[in-house]
Amino acid sequence: MSKITYFTLVIVLITVLSCSKDDHSHNPCTSTMTTTVSYKSFIAPLMTTSCNSSGCHSVASNAGGHQFTTHAGVKEAVDHGHFYTVMASGSMPKSATKLPDSILTKVKSWVDACGPDN
């Protein structure tokens, strides 16, 4: 095997291995958008009624590795990028009807603003 072929193979192998170790599980939001939707008066109560009361995302159950009893817990899911999408798809809340569009619009506004602790 020539040195150039060997060198190319090593570079390709390093590139492939380094890509396979990328951690895309936490992507902090960097949006500069603002929202009038409040975590304290809208998102937190929504989490209590739709996500925690069923026992799914409470501290005790921590379903999917997420608990939504604090802003930090919800914000982590926002930063992972799937908080809104699972609600909009209707797959959450689990075993319940899809949240109304009026609620989803507010959740999206809050998520698009990076889920502020407001």
pLDDT digit string, tens, across residues 21-51: 334 455 677 888 899 999 999 999 999 999 8
- Asked if residue 1 belongs to a domain, the reply is no
> How many angstroms separate the CA atoms of 91 and 18, rounded?
33
- The number of helices, as runs of H, and strands, as runs of E, in the chain is 5, 0
- Residue 69: inside a domain: yes
Number of domains composing the chain: 1
Local confidence band at 19 (pLDDT 50, 70, 90 cut-offs)? very low
114 lies in some domain? yes
Q: How far apart are the first and last CA of the chain?
A: 62
Domain of 96, in residue numbers: 33-118
In a domain, 44, yes or no: yes
In a domain, residue 84? The reply is yes
Structural domain contains residue 77: yes
Is there a domain that residue 3 lies in? no
pLDDT digit string, tens, across residues 49-101: 998 876 788 888 778 888 899 999 999 999 988 899 999 999 999 888 999 99
